Amino acid sequence: KDEEVMMKQDGAMMQSVTLAMKEQNNSRQMGTATITDVEGKAKVVINVAAGAKNVAEPAHIHLGACPTPGAVAYPLSAVMNGVSETMINVSVSELLGKLPLAVNVHKSAAEAKIYVSCGDIAADAMMMKK
């Protein structure tokens, strides 16, 4: 218990946002994206139903909201077989200060205008892990 209290007091408490990734364009690629603060940087983990096998699906945090987000705010690692993990050089708190934002996955580099999965980042989804 004392250790937990100290963690909270020194500001090391982890912040996490989990969002629902919704399918787009009948892709059947739904799932979640979790954004966790790791030592002041945001770790973005996307888990969606896999698209075409071994096809890199570009992913980004975009300005705006689903289903038609705007410009790319932060590039993310491409989703491969349903999974992507990226560390971005911004904290979760900074991200939440820039809302509205959305995590968006594209069908492929060649078909980047076709969105297959999108999820809105919402401040009310913020969880404080204990």
- Over residues 41-81, the pLDDT tens digits come to 999 999 999 998 999 999 999 999 999 999 999 999 999 99
pLDDT per residue as tens digits for the range 110-122? 999 999 999 999 8
Write down the pLDDT at residue 52.
Answer: 87
86: Cβ contacts below 8 Å, ≥ 6 apart: 43, 44, 59, 76, 77
Task: Inform me whether the pLDDT recorded for 130 exceeds 50.
Answer: no
Q: Strand pairing of 115-121 and 57-63?
A: unpaired
Write down the pLDDT at residue 17.
Answer: 87
HSE toward the beta carbon, residue 122, CA cutoff 13 A: 10
Q: Which position has the token pair 């009310």?
A: 124
Per-chain mean pLDDT for the chain: 86
